Structure 1
Amino acid sequence: MKDYFFSVFKTNPLEMKGLNGIRGIAFFMVIYTHMFRPYKYFGFHEPNVWIENFLNNGSLCMDAFFVLSGYLIGGQLLKEKIKTNSINYGNFITKRVLRIFPPYYIFLTFQFIIIYNLSKFATDELVKTESLQLLKRVVWDYAYMSDYFAGIMIHGWSLSVEEKFYILLPILLFLILKLKQKNQILFSLSILVILPTIFRLIQFLQISPENLSFWTYSVTFYYPFHSRMDGLFLGVLVAAIQIYYPEKIDKFLKDRNSIYFVLLSLVTLLSIMFFTSEDRPDLFTCVFRFLFASLAWSIILIKTLDEKSWTAKVLSVPIFSPVAKLSYCAYIIHLLCLGFLSKKFIGYHKIHYYEIIIWTIPIGVIILGYAYLYYLMTEKPFLALRNRLLNKK
């Protein structure tokens, strides 16, 4: 019983601690970006384009999440294939379904019930009408298609992207791993990394500048799976290089100059955050931003594999471990929590930018507290069930 409640706070020896740090930082980037965006409608004292870009572009966290997912899931499947000469798709599906589905579908159904009751019992006719419209869209959330069709869970698009990846990856690896040469396997994965950039460029060239708005950018470039899979497959490619050519990774990590690649990656991420705008999307933002950000996160990920490096030491701070474990549940519930926490601690009115910055960690920690309770109710029981089922096999 004690383990049930406190295992999330214990560091597992098998954890890749540096990855916890990346995931933890990405979580707080989600918080400050989604905290910031509603305040654009209230306005800011002393408006500053660079600061607004920085706060808005915390969305680069999604590239980090995608690279991590690709690296971890791809690495597991590749190692299993090498070890057993096969991939147990039943086990893979069991692992994914029992971890991902319960928190997602329970929260989605909770939203559905609230909206359904509003459509039936709200006294305001406008609320009733809008609720009925939302109910028509919930099917896209249940089908994990909200990256292509708007659902009721605004942030569910990224979960839809990852779900498609989980379905597609085993099939693609089954085909790719039929290739005999290691370099052929890596080349095939590289094509999957490059394809989304080609898709985005083709789409960009078909849109006239006057029609290129934030909404167009979001639904055409930012949300869809085919446009965002480069980060996921880049993570798989990194895992494949580590597995098939470990000496190349070791050589990179032992090279003193590798720290400059990390610094270049940080400069790349910060440059994108300060100097590009999703509100005013251009060629770089629509076509190349996701690939550059994913490459930067990938280099940082690789550097964390050297536990003696400063990169790994900073990102392996123990506090990141529970944050990483709770990040999935926290992501699912964070917008609901931000709705009342922002109002309580900041208020909905014209504010200063620093108010977003200073409240990011406190509000993020409170959301993690709620996520812990949600984790105990919706994720932990099914993780225990998953472990029992897999151990029986």
Structure 2
Amino acid sequence: MKSYILSIFASKKGEIESLNGIRAIAILMVMANHLWVFEQRIMGEMPRWLSWFVENQTTIVDVFFVLGGFLNYGGVLQSYKRENSFPFSKFVVNRSLRILPAYYAALAFSYHYFYKQGQKLKYIQNPSRDLLWLINKGQKALDYVWADGIFLSNFFPRVLDVGWYISLEQQIYFLMVVLGPFFLFSKTKKTRVIILSILYIIPFLSRCYLYSKGQMNADALFWTQNRFDSMIAGMLLAEYVDYKPVGESLGKLKYYLIGIIAISFILISYSFGWKHFIRLTLANNFYNIALALIIYLAIQKEGIFKTILALPIFRPLSRITFTVYLWNIPLMGIATKWALEGEKIVTLSVLPKLYLICFGFTILASWPIFLLIEQPFIWWKEKSKVLENKNQTETA
């Protein structure tokens, strides 16, 4: 029992520790942005640089797109090398065990919460305009719960606010399973890279087209055709690492040059307002290229990115990242009541207390949720993998 409870602190064989740091920092930034947005109505005057930084974390979720593309696509490439075929059943089963139980549990909770709240709000006499808006928003989301259920919520009103990310990711992986063996994985590396490069450009062209029609906005960035380039960036990185595996040191000059380019690209992507042409079209490309470069530096055998991101302190939060992502909004909503008790406005001096209490409670509460819902399926998946490797060894 003790080992099960403390499993989030344990290292795993073959794990790239530095990627734990990337996941942990990314989820903290996601939480920072969510909390900032939801408390904006009572937020006092804040330093411009702070507002600029936190509000730009809207796009931090692309870290998970790039990482997912890199790791999942890279795993498929390795399977093709060993077996010369696409591992259909293994890919679907592993993906389902990792995502579906946790996702549907969070969706069921969100549906129940929205439904109960909607029933209560209907009986309030003379509701304010804000309350009417909230009632209508909740009802629309409940009417489209079927979209949450079949992973199309990035195109419709959502019961689970964060479900758009899972929907988009599942759509791309579904296409990978259905179409990948025919138009991608059976090709040579050069052809695959060309195909992926063409696919990478499509979301940019789609964003430009919508912008020319006056239809490109922040909401449109949830749509699959406008956002899947981040996953393609991770896949292209996997192709490069497969072609040139991580080995000797890059050398200080090349290493720091890549790091400077990555940081510069992130700053460029943050430098334009949400109505600017570049922000709504090209900034996403600057950002996901930067993330791919940071991941590449993080997986090197040495260097400052690896040194910092591989620190064990990031491991437990990395383990429960998916749980935190699914539950952070309702959990931080609960913690906010404690953090802001007696406060009418969030000032700069109140902000650290708000974040510390909300972050601390959310992470601690996500731990048992992870152990109850996700960990049993993860262990089942890992046990099956161990047995499979044992059978392959015995056969060999």
Q: Same fold (TM over 0.5)?
A: yes
**Match among 306, 316, 326 for residue 312 of structure 1:** 306
Aligned length: 378
Output the CA distance in 1 between the equivalents of 2:116 and 2:207. 40
- Return the offset for 1:15: 1.1
Q: Which amino acid aligns with 1:15?
A: E
Question: Is the Cα contact below 8 Å between 2:249 and 2:301 reproduced in 1?
Answer: no
Which residue is equivalent to 1:277?
273
- Return the offset for 1:151: 1.4
Which residue is equivalent to 1:371?
366
Which residue is equivalent to 1:294?
288
Output the CA distance in 2 between the equivalents of 1:330 and 1:200. 30
Which residue is equivalent to 2:71?
72
Determine if the alignment matches structure 1 residue 267 to structure 2 residue 294: no
Equivalence map 1:187-266=2 (5 Å):
187-207=194-214, 217-220=217-220, 222-246=221-245, 250=247, 253-254=250-251, 256-266=253-263
Q: 1:238-296: per-residue Cα shift (whole Å, max 9, x none)?
A: 011111233xx6578335332122123123324534x3333xx2111110111111111
Output the CA distance in 2 between the equivalents of 1:353 and 1:277. 23
Question: Is the Cα contact below 8 Å between 1:199 and 1:226 reproduced in 2?
Answer: yes
Equivalence map 1:1-393=2 (5 Å):
1-45=1-45, 47-120=46-119, 123-124=123-124, 130=136, 132-174=139-181, 175-180=183-188, 182-207=189-214, 217-220=217-220, 222-246=221-245, 250=247, 253-254=250-251, 256-273=253-270, 275-278=271-274, 281-346=275-340, 349-353=344-348, 355-356=350-351, 359-389=354-384
Output the CA distance in 2 between the equivalents of 1:265 and 1:171. 33
Question: Is the Cα contact below 8 Å between 1:35 and 1:338 reproduced in 2?
Answer: yes
Identity of aligned residues (%): 22
Output the CA distance in 1 between the equivalents of 2:54 and 2:255. 29
Output the CA distance in 2 between the equivalents of 1:368 and 1:271. 32
Gaps of 5+ in 2: 389-396
- Return the offset for 1:392: 6.0
Output the CA distance in 2 between the equivalents of 1:382 and 1:24. 21
- Return the offset for 1:322: 1.2
Question: Is the Cα contact below 8 Å between 1:35 and 1:356 reproduced in 2?
Answer: no
Residue 244 and residue 50 in structure 1: after superposition, are their counterparts in 2 closer, same or farther (change >3 A)? Answer: same
TM-score normalised by structure 2 residue count: 0.88
Output the CA distance in 2 between the equivalents of 1:5 and 1:389. 21
Q: Which amino acid aligns with 1:363?
A: C
Residue 13 and residue 96 in structure 1: after superposition, are their counterparts in 2 closer, same or farther (change >3 A)? Answer: same
Q: Which has the higher contact order (CA 8 A, sep 6+)?
A: 1
Output the CA distance in 2 between the equivalents of 1:272 and 1:352. 28
Residue 49 and residue 193 in structure 1: after superposition, are their counterparts in 2 closer, same or farther (change >3 A)? Answer: same
Question: Is the Cα contact below 8 Å between 2:249 and 2:302 reproduced in 1?
Answer: no
- Return the offset for 1:62: 1.1
Question: Is the Cα contact below 8 Å between 1:28 and 1:360 reproduced in 2?
Answer: no
Q: Which amino acid aligns with 1:27?
A: I
- Return the offset for 1:307: 2.7
Q: 1:154-193: per-residue Cα shift (whole Å, max 9, x none)?
A: 121111111112212233431212223x222211111122
- Return the offset for 1:140: 1.5
Output the CA distance in 2 between the equivalents of 1:59 and 1:114. 25
Question: Is the Cα contact below 8 Å between 2:332 and 2:361 reproduced in 1?
Answer: no
- Measured on the aligned residues, the alpha-carbon RMSD in Å equals 2.4
Output the CA distance in 2 between the equivalents of 1:163 and 1:356. 36
Question: Is the Cα contact below 8 Å between 1:334 and 1:367 reproduced in 2?
Answer: yes
Question: Is the Cα contact below 8 Å between 1:91 and 1:390 reproduced in 2?
Answer: no
Q: Which amino acid aligns with 1:88?
A: P
Output the CA distance in 1 between the equivalents of 2:165 and 2:314. 22
Residue 365 and residue 145 in structure 1: after superposition, are their counterparts in 2 closer, same or farther (change >3 A)? Answer: same
- Return the offset for 1:148: 0.7
